[in-house]
Chain A
Amino acid sequence: MDDMSSHYQVMEELGSGSFGVVYKAIDKTDGEIVAIKHIDLESSEDDIQEIQQEISVLATCASPYVTQYKASFLKGHKLWIVMEFLGGGSCLDLLKPGCFNEAHVAIVCRELLLGLDYLHSEGKIHRDVKAANVLLSQTGKVKLADFGVAAQLVNIKSQRNTFVGTPFWMAPEVIQQAGYDFKADIWSLGITAIEMINGEPPHASTHPMKVLFLIPKNPAPRLEGNEYSNTFKDFIAQCLTKDPDLRPSAKELLRHKFVRNAGKPEALQELIHRKQDWDGGRGETKDVKYYAESLNTMTRPEDLDDDDWVFDTVKPPPIFRPKGTDWMTFDEEENAPDPAQMLEDMHISAPPPPPKHQANSTVRRVPTDRSPSVRRANTKRRSSGVKQPLGLDLSYGNSPSTVRQFRRVSDKVPTDLNPAKHGFDENQSPKTVSTDSSSKEAQIGRRAYSKAVGMSCQEVLSTTGDGDKREAISRLAEAWSDLEMVDPEGLYHIVRIMNEKLQADSRLSTLLPSTQPDSPSRPRLVLAQNNPHLKSHRRRQSYVPEPQPQSPPSVPAQAAPGMEHTKQLSDVLYQRWSEGLRNRWGGF
């Protein structure tokens, strides 16, 4: 098979999507500009099939209102998905300089309805409509994007139960898991319209977990105030009809006065120009990151003194493997990379950029697992060997995160996070450094890092807005990560001693949340639906990481004040999904 990737000249990074990095690229055969998403399959455990599902939904769409899929192929263990390039950015990006006006919202809504009408007639539900997933072309064309959780129905009348989407935009029937259909997208569209006019969805300041209680319980959100036209208010009210049977379809809404009177999509160029001016005004020199074939972060469990297996058959002569190439292969088509650019990619001395945290990832279905086993219960951070990079959203934290079963880790992030390594010692895998430290302490140290230290750095990072502070935290996080790689034992001892000292100091020990150990089974979400004290009740029992022999009884994660409940709730929520419970939510 010929190497499809050589048909594309990959250029700068456009951003890290919900799973993987998206690059701008040129199709060399016809000069067309495209967007290519790179998904590292090595970092996802069981969901290759799911990615295929997403591709098959995309590949069967052909509509001017849906981002056009072009091709997908493998390059090593990366999957490249080629899509049409949309230069205007997402509606969420365009909201940064300020809210949209009603005329703009009307245009976007009409175009979205045309897209949804197409999808729905195809038996597809998008399930994650929100401003972040609406992309604009340079000329103002509006397209639905990100089919990461879309569903293909066999029958136009069939329903779904799976709990996916992004909490703030989720329709009540999706949250209640009582069976839903296309109408769920219409609700999300209504929320998206509010998001565009107000800059954020309703309940935006509320914790996303709590929102899951509010949406089914509260009356549907409405636009209030004289600044909005009555037709707009009515349009929102129609979209946000709580009973899905009474909620109009996309086709019906296309006849609504609000969208019938909407202007041409070209008018949306104003928003794109506004964003460009805004970026310019802030003096934001775009930190352009160019594509370079990423360093291979995988390791061989190889000992220098340990040969390959001895079989009776004659051993083939060992293949000479020049040491460097394993780790430093740049793409062939990039064979004339700008040296300065390469240097920049290495970030030899520059401090690492603060890792982006993902604000809006999306809930994924729970895939079926190989065998019934404890693996399921522990899937939360199943490492697939690749170091989990800091900065990707792992807990539901307090960002308006969507919920996705697996976090597909963009390989870009670790590259950014370990710049020094690549610069100084590219031949040595992080792994080989620590191969000899497999003692119990080292294991606990690694676990402490992966379960507690790394995540707590990240949680704090995600609540920190200030740039300098973020950078300091991410540097600290990086240092922990280095320590974990080089000396997990040392890490363990630091955590242990730190904990002992905290406990020993009478003032400090009382300040820390108490850590009465939970029973080994993780907390279950017992939803007394109308129990308003749920949250505070949860807060009272602070979260304890899974019991682990000799594991330090308390780790710094718990010291982050006010974060215990989110941890707890996200954990509980996670477990709910992972067990596929879908019936306890009715009857709000």
Chain B
Amino acid sequence: MAFFFNRGRSRQPADIVRTTKELLLRIHDSQNAPKAEEELAKQLSQMKVIVQGTPEVPPSVDQVHALVQATIQEDLLFDLSRSIHLLPFEARKDTQTVFSHILRFRPNSYAAEKDPPVISYLVHHRPEIIVELCRGYMQSQSAMPCGVILREALKFDVITAIVLYDQSSEGESAIRLSDVKPNQRQRGDGVFWRFFDWIDKSCFEVSADAYTTFRDILTRHKSLMTSYLATNFELFFARFNNILIHSDSYVTKRQSIKLLGEILLDRANYNVMMAYVESGDNLKLCMKLLRDDRKMVQYEGFHVFKVFVANPNKSVAVQRILINNRDRLLRFLPKFLDDRTDDDQFMDEKSFLVRQIELLPKEPVDRARPTRDSPSAHTAAVA
């Protein structure tokens, strides 16, 4: 380690960055360049020592600063972000460490409440890097390191905004923060929307990591997400219901039902919740979950179903379904997951729902609440 360390010190960060850049271009051009890969691994491990020091010697702020400046000058982060899957095993992990440190880096004089300089640089000048990191989910080799870096970056709402609003195709330049228009509906082919397929279609490890990132995007920055969901309500929940809740993967299904419940019950998303529980099709979907043959799916489904029943202003469509199924529900619910005797909250909520269903009128009552124009256009396929 001391050997590496000394070498790292003796060479200027700018040199390391330049060499790394050249090597990255080389492995991009030729598929098989074992020599270049090996050399790259060395450079990256030197960078790692610069950013995190060693157990014996702490990192030097000046060195890190010089490294950060050099990476921005050479646009190294872009080359790294699109090449992670080409790197050897250890180099991928080193890249993850270096990247995360650079994103977090603040010079000594920097005000603590401002976003770190590299974050601001990314959203204003080089958002393509963020999009490339997301595309890391397309290869299993890059999925996990890209996921770790992304989640580090998504702690900042400006980065989340880029991921949500970018609609560039591969090779095009990505959206700048100043071009974001929250009120414009999304086409549904931007990088954010690809997460649905990455979660549903990838192998377990990639899917699980993509889900974790997806969840971060949806839950970390409330006001951003609330306005996004309001604008893209139909598109979002059509995808969510059709792809995630209907996923064949047990983990995706269970986790996304849980996430749905979390989104709906978040106070910031009150309007989203009201719109969601107005739809009869959404209710049907939940009622089917209650009859899934896996207990934990039933259980997570219950936590969404309860919102429909507890809503004091049920739409006519929802009332009709509940009334038509009143007797069935009243037979079904008392026995539903009745071995959860330890779970007091669940038992309470269940008996509350039973009471609510008993109290339903004979015929649906229209409370003349303005309904959304077509709350179920996209979810119709679900039924």
Output the least CB separation between A201 and chain B (Å): 27
B194 part of interface (Cβ distance < 8 Å): no
Contact bitstring A239-252, B, C-beta under 8 A = 1, else 0: 00000000001010
Contact bitstring B245-259, A, C-beta under 8 A = 1, else 0: 000111100110010
A381: contacting residue among B249, B294, B325, B342, CB under 8 A: B342
Contact bitstring A372-403, B, C-beta under 8 A = 1, else 0: 01110010111111100000000000000000
Q: List 28 A-B contacts (CB under 8 A).
A: A4-B203, A45-B296, A52-B212, A55-B205, A55-B208, A56-B205, A56-B209, A59-B205, A60-B93, A62-B90, A79-B204, A156-B54, A301-B337, A303-B335, A309-B287, A311-B284, A311-B321, A311-B324, A312-B321, A313-B284, A373-B345, A375-B344, A375-B345, A384-B296, A385-B299, A385-B340, A438-B335, A446-B339
B201 part of interface (Cβ distance < 8 Å): yes
Chain B residue with minimal CB distance to A371? B265
Chain B residue with minimal CB distance to A435? B335
Q: Are the C-beta atoms of B296 and A42 separated by less than 8 Å?
A: yes
Output the least CB separation between A464 and chain B (Å): 27
A4 to B55, CA, bound (A): 41
CB contacts (< 8 Å) of B53 on chain A: these are 156-157
CB contacts (< 8 Å) of B93 on chain A: these are 60, 122
Q: Are the C-beta atoms of A300 and B340 separated by less than 8 Å?
A: no
CB contacts (< 8 Å) of B337 on chain A: these are 301, 385
Contact bitstring B192-217, A, C-beta under 8 A = 1, else 0: 00000000010111001100100000
Chain B residue with minimal CB distance to A297? B295
Interface residues of A in 304-329 (CB under 8 A from B): 306-313, 326
Q: Are the C-beta atoms of B144 and A298 separated by less than 8 Å?
A: no
CB contacts (< 8 Å) of B209 on chain A: these are 52, 56
CB contacts (< 8 Å) of B294 on chain A: these are 42, 77, 298
Output the least CB separation between A322 and chain B (Å): 14
Q: Are the C-beta atoms of A1 and B201 separated by less than 8 Å?
A: yes
Output the least CB separation between B45 and chain A (Å): 10
CB contacts (< 8 Å) of A370 on chain B: these are 258, 261-262, 303
Choose the segment among B32-40, B228-236, B326-334 that binds chain A (4+ C-beta atoms closer than 8 Å).
Answer: B326-334
Q: Are the C-beta atoms of A306 and B331 separated by less than 8 Å?
A: yes
Given contacts A370-B258, A374-B344, A383-B342, contact A41 B291 (CB under 8 A): no
Give the 7 A-B CB pairs with smallest separation, nearest first.
Answer: A385-B295, A77-B250, A373-B345, A73-B204, A313-B383, A52-B208, A378-B342
Q: Are the C-beta atoms of A301 and B251 separated by less than 8 Å?
A: no
A447 part of interface (Cβ distance < 8 Å): yes
Q: Are the C-beta atoms of B251 and A60 separated by less than 8 Å?
A: no
Q: Are the C-beta atoms of B342 and A309 separated by less than 8 Å?
A: no
B58 part of interface (Cβ distance < 8 Å): yes
Given contacts A41-B296, A310-B328, contact A76 B250 (CB under 8 A): yes
A148 to B52, CA, bound (A): 26
CB contacts (< 8 Å) of B249 on chain A: these are 74
A154 part of interface (Cβ distance < 8 Å): yes
Output the least CB separation between A564 and chain B (Å): 21
A49 part of interface (Cβ distance < 8 Å): yes
A541 part of interface (Cβ distance < 8 Å): no
Q: Are the C-beta atoms of A374 and B339 separated by less than 8 Å?
A: no
Q: How many residues of B contact A (CB 8 A)?
A: 62
Interface residues of A in 423-451 (CB under 8 A from B): 431, 435, 438, 443, 446-447, 450
B237 part of interface (Cβ distance < 8 Å): no
Q: Are the C-beta atoms of B205 and A49 separated by less than 8 Å?
A: no
A72 part of interface (Cβ distance < 8 Å): yes
B189 part of interface (Cβ distance < 8 Å): no
Output the least CB separation between A38 and chain B (Å): 14
Chain A residue with minimal CB distance to B100? A154
A310 to B280, CA, bound (A): 12
A536 part of interface (Cβ distance < 8 Å): no
Which of B52, B58, B254, B335 counts the most A-chain CB atoms under 10 A from its CB?
B335
Output the least CB separation between B92 and chain A (Å): 9
Interface residues of A in 114-170 (CB under 8 A from B): 120-123, 154-157
B343 part of interface (Cβ distance < 8 Å): yes
B270 part of interface (Cβ distance < 8 Å): no
B336 part of interface (Cβ distance < 8 Å): yes
B89 part of interface (Cβ distance < 8 Å): yes
A53 to B261, CA, bound (A): 23
Output the least CB separation between B93 and chain A (Å): 6
Q: Are the C-beta atoms of A300 and B291 separated by less than 8 Å?
A: yes
B335: contacting residue among A62, A301, A313, A375, CB under 8 A: A301
CB contacts (< 8 Å) of B291 on chain A: these are 300-302, 308-309
Contact bitstring A53-65, B, C-beta under 8 A = 1, else 0: 0011001101000
A156: contacting residue among B55, B100, B254, CB under 8 A: B55
A48 part of interface (Cβ distance < 8 Å): yes
B338 part of interface (Cβ distance < 8 Å): yes
Which of A55, A60, A122 counts the most B-chain CB atoms under 10 A from its CB?
A60
Interface residues of B in 305-332 (CB under 8 A from A): 320-321, 324-325, 328, 331-332
Q: Are the C-beta atoms of B383 and A386 separated by less than 8 Å?
A: no
A285 to B90, CA, bound (A): 44
CB contacts (< 8 Å) of B293 on chain A: these are 298, 300, 326
Q: Are the C-beta atoms of B343 and A62 separated by less than 8 Å?
A: no
B288 part of interface (Cβ distance < 8 Å): yes
B178 part of interface (Cβ distance < 8 Å): no
B109 part of interface (Cβ distance < 8 Å): no
A450 to B342, CA, bound (A): 10
A385 to B201, CA, bound (A): 29
Q: Are the C-beta atoms of A443 and B208 separated by less than 8 Å?
A: no
Q: Are the C-beta atoms of B52 and A156 separated by less than 8 Å?
A: yes
Contact bitstring A339-357, B, C-beta under 8 A = 1, else 0: 0000000000000000000
Other A-B contacts than A251-B1, A309-B284, 4 sampled, CB-CB below 8 A, are A42-B294, A309-B288, A309-B325, A443-B338
Output the least CB separation between B150 and chain A (Å): 14
Output the least CB separation between A386 and chain B (Å): 7
CB contacts (< 8 Å) of B71 on chain A: these are none
B30 part of interface (Cβ distance < 8 Å): no
Which of B208, B248, B284, B337 counts the most A-chain CB atoms under 10 A from its CB?
B208
CB contacts (< 8 Å) of B90 on chain A: these are 62
CB contacts (< 8 Å) of B336 on chain A: these are 301
CB contacts (< 8 Å) of B95 on chain A: these are none
Q: Are the C-beta atoms of B204 and A72 separated by less than 8 Å?
A: yes
Output the least CB separation between B39 and chain A (Å): 19
A374 to B343, CA, bound (A): 8
B167 part of interface (Cβ distance < 8 Å): no
A384 to B298, CA, bound (A): 11
Q: Are the C-beta atoms of A383 and B339 separated by less than 8 Å?
A: yes
Given contacts A155-B52, A383-B342, A438-B335, contact A306 B328 (CB under 8 A): yes
Contact bitstring B274-290, A, C-beta under 8 A = 1, else 0: 00000010001001100
B108 part of interface (Cβ distance < 8 Å): no
Given contacts A301-B332, A309-B288, contact A48 B255 (CB under 8 A): yes
Q: Are the C-beta atoms of B340 and A74 separated by less than 8 Å?
A: no
B184 part of interface (Cβ distance < 8 Å): no
Q: Are the C-beta atoms of B89 and A249 separated by less than 8 Å?
A: no
CB contacts (< 8 Å) of B10 on chain A: these are none
B183 part of interface (Cβ distance < 8 Å): no
B31 part of interface (Cβ distance < 8 Å): no
Output the least CB separation between A245 and chain B (Å): 12
A42 to B296, CA, bound (A): 6
Q: Are the C-beta atoms of B334 and A438 separated by less than 8 Å?
A: yes
CB contacts (< 8 Å) of B298 on chain A: these are 301
Q: Are the C-beta atoms of A438 and B343 separated by less than 8 Å?
A: no
B374 part of interface (Cβ distance < 8 Å): no
A308 to B331, CA, bound (A): 12
CB contacts (< 8 Å) of B54 on chain A: these are 156
Interface residues of B in 76-108 (CB under 8 A from A): 89-90, 93, 97, 100
CB contacts (< 8 Å) of A74 on chain B: these are 204, 249-251
A409 to B46, CA, bound (A): 44
